[in-house]
Amino acid sequence: TLSIPKLRIDNATVLVGGEDLSKSLIHFTGPLPGNYGNPVIFGHSTLPFLYNPKDYKTIFTKLPDLVKGDDIFVTTDNVTYRYKVYDMRVTSPDDLSVLEQYYDSSYLTLVTCVPPGTYLKRLIIKAKLEKM
């Protein structure tokens, strides 16, 4: 599951290799959280006034509100990992560098479409595992 307290996202389901973003977030590539590498998780966004942190069709709408230092929690196998946001950027939909794996530490990448409600660009949130 994935939780972002600042955005009121609480224990959202993340499916490894899932295909339906209307039913869950999707762990597209990379290792399981807590391991060295970069799990990449995709989620939908929509027009901000439709935001509902429990609706997978709108769950990542408020990702642009995150700032460096914000917490993201990922729970897998009853272990919760705390990641801190360290970078945010907007890129084109064909930029595959967001899927790159680095094994010097444990990272997390969240991806959604921006501006919310469009498919024009991708917002990339990069976070790094904090020692707990």
pLDDT in tens, 11-53: 999 999 888 999 999 999 999 999 999 999 999 999 989 999 9
CB 57 within 8 A of CB 44: yes
Report the percentage of the chain scoring pLDDT > 70. 99
132 vs 10: which has the higher pLDDT: 10
Q: How far, in whole angstroms, is CA 62 from its chain's centroid?
A: 11
Would you state the pLDDT for residue 12? Answer: 98
Q: What is the pTM of this model?
A: 0.95
The pLDDT mean for the chain works out to 95
